[in-house]
């Protein structure tokens, strides 16, 4: 009266592995990777390439800004370090990668 009858369930049909459904299920994952590449990865690689080119083009006498915000004129160049003149007779040695921007000539007075 209070207990309903239990019926056995039939076994589900074996999946045939339809190739089209497999590709359609992977499509969102592939689409997400393509969007991620064009939105995040590619612009970052372009920015790194431009920064590397700027560092390679550094020359003595260039006026630069460091990552810490220090303004100065390049006095000495080395492979990994730059001598930066921040005031008359005051020279600071910084890592070459700390240079973030090259200023136009005459910016620092």
Run of H or E residues at 103? strand 99-103
Give pLDDT tens digits for 12-71: 655 555 788 888 889 999 999 999 999 999 999 999 999 999 999 999 999 999 999 999
Run of H or E residues at 72? strand 71-77
Q: What is the pLDDT of residue 2?
A: 77
For the four alpha carbons of 69, 99, 96 and 64, in that order, the dihedral sign comes to negative
What SS3 class is residue 84? strand
The alpha carbon of 78 is separated from its chain's Cα centroid by a whole number of angstroms, namely 26
Least confident stretch, 3-7, 16-20, 71-75, 87-91: 16-20
Q: How many CB atoms lie within 10 A of CB 98?
A: 16
Give pLDDT tens digits for 49-58: 999 999 999 9
């Amino acid at each position: 009266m209070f207990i309903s009858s239990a019926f056995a369930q039939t076994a589900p049909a074996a999946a045939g592995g339809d190739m089209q459904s497999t590709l359609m299920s992977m499509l969102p994952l592939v689409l997400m990777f393509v969007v991620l590449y064009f939105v995040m990865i590619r612009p970052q690689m372009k920015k790194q390439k431009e920064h590397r080119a700027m560092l390679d083009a550094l020359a003595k006498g260039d006026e630069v800004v460091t990552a810490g915000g220090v303004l100065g004129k390049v006095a000495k160049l080395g492979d990994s370090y730059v001598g930066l003149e921040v005031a008359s007779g005051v020279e600071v040695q910084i890592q070459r990668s700390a240079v973030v921007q090259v200023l136009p000539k005459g910016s620092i007075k």
